[in-house]
Amino acid sequence: MSITGFDLSFRHLCSPCIPPRFDFSSQSRRKIEYGCSFTAIRPVFCSMSSSSTAVSDSDENHVSTSYSRRLMTFMITFLLPLPKLMQHSGANANATDDLALIQGEIRKVLSKSKAAGVLRLVFHDAGTYELDDASGGMNGSISFELDRPENKGLKKSLKILVEAKTIVDEKQPVSMADMIAVAGAEAVSLCGGPTIPVRLGRLDSMVPDPEGKLPEETLDAFGLKQSFQRKGFSTQELVALSGAHTLGSKGFGNPVVFDNAYYKVLLEKPWLSSAGMTSMVGLPSDRALVEDDECLRWISKYADDQDLFFEDFMNAYIKLVNSGAKWRRD
């Protein structure tokens, strides 16, 4: 094996027929500027001929000095990357610790009954993103937008996250965007959904996002698909993200259980029944999905396979909370 021109097998130091012999002289012990002591090994060279000859003192000193320099070069070249590796490892450890800290404080204030509101907070903060002008997105600007009609009822959800953020900030400052992104993932997990990894490092916006960027609840399937396409999401991702409505009081199964009941209920179309309150199931936009052939294919897949829904929701969620985010430079 050779690194920076140095043969680690030491075979170049001696005749192939005669094993190398090393003199571990105490005079050759040196210290290298890495806080550790290394011994510079001084080889006694063998003759390449069948009759061995003595090496002169001057030649030996020259070889020893040359060898020591080569060893020093090797050690420095080999060790230089270590500080970067250590820093990278330390950065990963810090990110893991920060995430654990945020998750711990969120879990103290989050309950299953509050999960739907917290998850809705994620959609309303990130859902303002537009590809064309790269505006909006996951940036914590929802803090400035709570008085908008589409954000009615979100003040309570934001309040519990502000409470958790206050505690986190005492140990490690965190953006509101990161708090919301992590909280949504925790809400899903708490209610039995998939565990969603969330990257940290988002920066908060200091101004509200433009108005009128969230998909309206009255849109038909064509309008929904167009709206999500402008945000960079496919029809499949639209249907997967819509499954978040399985939580809450929309009428899709157990309001505090994250499962694929949303899709099963959509296929049943209970709003067509004449039995009173069943007409209140879901939003107009939910009902519109099942009337579109492309959306219907994914609704049927998720109704049949909850694991597939969980996987696709996780991937779409990660994409959602990264949409439009501005990242801290470490």
Last residue of a domain, one of 41, 57, 79: 79
Q: Which of 233, 262, 217 is nearest to 126 (CA)?
A: 233
Q: Domain end: 79, 106, 124, which one?
A: 79
Please tell me the pTM assigned to this model. 0.72
Residue type, 299: I
Do 243 and 313 contact (CB within 8 A), yes or no? yes
Q: Classify residue 71: in a domain, yes or no.
A: yes
The range of the structural domain enclosing residue 34 comes to 2-79
Let me know if residue 164 belongs to a domain: no
Distance CA 48, CA 56 (A): 16
Higher pLDDT, 156 or 27: 156
Helix %, strand %, coil % of the chain (to 5): 55, 5, 35
The answer to the question of residue 193 being in a domain is no
| Alpha carbon distance 243, 220 (integer Å) | 17
Show which of 56, 79, 102 is a domain's final residue. 79
Classify residue 32: in a domain, yes or no. Answer: yes
Could you tell me if residue 319 is inside a domain?
A: no
Containing 37, the helix (H) or strand (E) segment is strand 36-39
Does 49 fall in a domain? Answer: yes
Residue 228 lies inside a defined structural domain of this protein: yes
- Per the annotation, the verdict on 124 as an active-site residue is yes
Q: Tell me: the pLDDT tens digits for 56-92?
A: 444 444 444 555 555 554 444 444 444 443 444 555 6
Q: What CATH number should be reported for the domain holding residue 259?
A: 1.10.420.10
pLDDT at residue 187 above 60? yes
Residue 281: alpha-carbon gap to chain centroid: 35
Spot the catalytic one: 12, 62, 124, 245: 124
What Rg value do the Cα atoms of the chain yield, rounded?
Answer: 32
- Residue 202 domain-assigned (yes or no): no
Report the candidate in 288, 239, 275 with the shortest Cα–Cα distance to residue 260. Answer: 239
For the stretch 18-68, pLDDT in tens is 444 444 444 444 433 334 333 333 443 333 344 443 444 444 444 445 555
**Domain tally for the chain?**
2
* Residue 116 · residue 255 · CB < 8 Å: yes
Q: How far apart (Å, rounded) are the C-alpha atoms in residues 241 and 245?
A: 8
Which residues, including other chains, have CB under 8 Å from residue 308's CB and lie 6 or more apart? 301, 302
20 and 43 Cβ atoms separated by less than 8 Å: yes
